[in-house]
């Protein structure tokens, strides 16, 4: 009789412990690691800034090279590097592990990425790095709004304050950024000059909205492999960019005029874009998209430093004040993340100890 009662009691304890462990595991997978998410997001932003810098160097040294040609070369090299990285798991990463409901966000992110990179690489040919970066960083505001409606992700009052404070710093940088020099009209461009200029600015303004939409789609497919986004974006870009190059009356012969510096920049650009895409995806796998957005304003800081250090762009005190504000938000975020991580450690240790005590109790019941 006693044995029967003990077995029943043990049978009740074991499923309960297993269920709690399973629930904890699912909760952890859902939440991810916010500290890792912040780290990946910061590295992704830095690599994203490097994309612009390397491309700008090519444009400065080879003015006849078009953005579409650069994108075609970059896509070919990036795809080759991704195939080497994924290797024999290519089919598994790019097809087998993708569930039916994940295909829409994957293709939505891929198509959005095609528009975004075309706008970005075209914009930096005609505008300063800082102007492009700061306009793009209106994206965090759109991301927070879309995350609220599409992902049910909300920012608390402090996080919203961080976002607005960083946005204010970025606004200072854009307001006081010197306007780009007016391009000298070429023969035959007089009538279409105004329309082309308007189109460039419209594309630049629309870009943050596209970036925000792409971020939301990545968050939706966070269960996928970290390499899947980069594989699709770079692979699809190859035929698209080649078609666009020839459709605009150009060809792929620009590489014949490349020297060592240009080839270095193309390869470095291809590597940095892979890091940027992969780390950004890993960031939204580990942290809510809305909570990462204040850190997006680090991008214009990177771009300003690139403008000053490499391209000798003009700057003023107000730009430096804006940069200081953004860096302050970044520093506060790091401190808060560290404090939260330290605060969670005792809870993890207590949870582990309770788990050990439960197992000891179960073993004791079984022996009796």
Whether pTM exceeds 0.85: no
The number of angstroms, rounded, from the C-alpha of 347 to the middle of its chain's C-alpha atoms is 31
Structure confidence by residue, pLDDT tens digits, 191-218? 446 777 788 888 888 889 998 999 999 9
Tokens 């950004």 -> residue: 280
Give the per-residue pLDDT at 363: 63
Instruction: State the DSSP H helix or E strand holding residue 314, giving kind and residue range, or none if neither.
Output: none
Residue 235: closest CA among 112, 51, 80, 67: 80
Tokens of 191: 């009538």
The structural domains of the chain, with segments of one domain joined by +, span 35-182+191-367
pLDDT of residue 119: 87
Residues 122 and 183: their CA atoms lie apart, in Å, by 14
Residue 252 DSSP class: S
Q: What CA–CA distances, in Å, run from 346 to 29, 187, 256, 290, 296?
A: 20, 71, 61, 27, 31
pLDDT at 271: 96
Asked whether 207 and 353 are in contact (CB, 8 A), the reply is no
The pLDDT of residue 310 is: 80
pLDDT at residue 6 in the model: 45
Q: How many CA atoms lie within 13 A of 202 on its CB side?
A: 6
**Low-confidence residues in the chain, pLDDT < 70:** 1-31, 129-130, 133-134, 178-193, 344-368
Please tell me the predicted confidence (pLDDT) of residue 354: 62
Looking at residue 10, its pLDDT comes to 42
C-alpha separations of 254 from 90, 118, 122, 257, 270 in Å: 31, 18, 16, 6, 17
- DSSP 8-state symbol, 368: -
- Select from 39, 42, 22, 19 the least CA-distant residue to 30: 22
């Amino acid at each position: 009789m006693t044995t029967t009662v003990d077995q029943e009691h043990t049978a009740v304890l074991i499923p309960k412990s297993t269920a709690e462990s399973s629930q904890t595991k699912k909760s952890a997978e859902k939440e991810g690691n916010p500290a890792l998410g912040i780290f990946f997001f910061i590295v992704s932003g830095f690599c994203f800034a490097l994309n612009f810098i390397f491309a700008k160097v090519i444009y400065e040294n080879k003015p006849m090279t078009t953005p579409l040609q650069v994108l075609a070369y970059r896509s070919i090299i990036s795809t080759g590097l991704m195939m080497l990285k994924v290797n024999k798991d290519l089919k598994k990463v790019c097809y087998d592990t993708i569930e039916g409901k994940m295909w829409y966000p994957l293709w939505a992110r891929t198509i959005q990425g095609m528009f975004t990179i075309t706008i970005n690489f075209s914009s930096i040919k005609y505008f300063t790095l800082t102007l492009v970066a700061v306009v793009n960083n209106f994206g965090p505001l759109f991301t927070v709004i879309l995350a609220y409606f599409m992902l049910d992700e909300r920012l608390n009052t402090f996080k919203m304050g961080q976002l607005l404070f960083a946005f204010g710093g970025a606004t200072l940088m854009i307001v006081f950024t010197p306007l780009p020099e007016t391009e000298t009209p070429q023969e035959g461009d007089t009538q279409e000059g105004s329309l082309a200029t308007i189109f460039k600015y419209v594309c630049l303004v629309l870009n943050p909205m596209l970036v925000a939409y792409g971020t939301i789609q990545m968050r939706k497919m966070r269960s996928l492999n970290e390499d899947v986004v980069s594989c699709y974006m770079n692979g699809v870009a190859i035929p698209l960019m080649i078609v666009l190059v020839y459709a605009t009356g150009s060809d792929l012969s620009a590489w014949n005029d490349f020297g060592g510096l240009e080839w270095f920049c193309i390869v470095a650009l291809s590597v940095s874009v892979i890091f940027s895409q992969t780390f950004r995806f890993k960031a939204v796998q580990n942290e809510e998209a809305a909570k990462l957005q204040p850190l997006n304003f680090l991008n214009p800081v990177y771009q300003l430093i690139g403008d000053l250090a490499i391209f000798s762009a003009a700057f003023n005190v107000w730009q430096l004040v804006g940069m200081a504000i953004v860096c302050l938000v970044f520093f506060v975020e790091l401190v808060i993340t560290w404090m939260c991580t330290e605060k969670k450690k005792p809870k993890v240790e207590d949870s582990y100890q309770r788990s050990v005590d439960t197992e000891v109790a179960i073993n004791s019941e079984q022996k009796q």
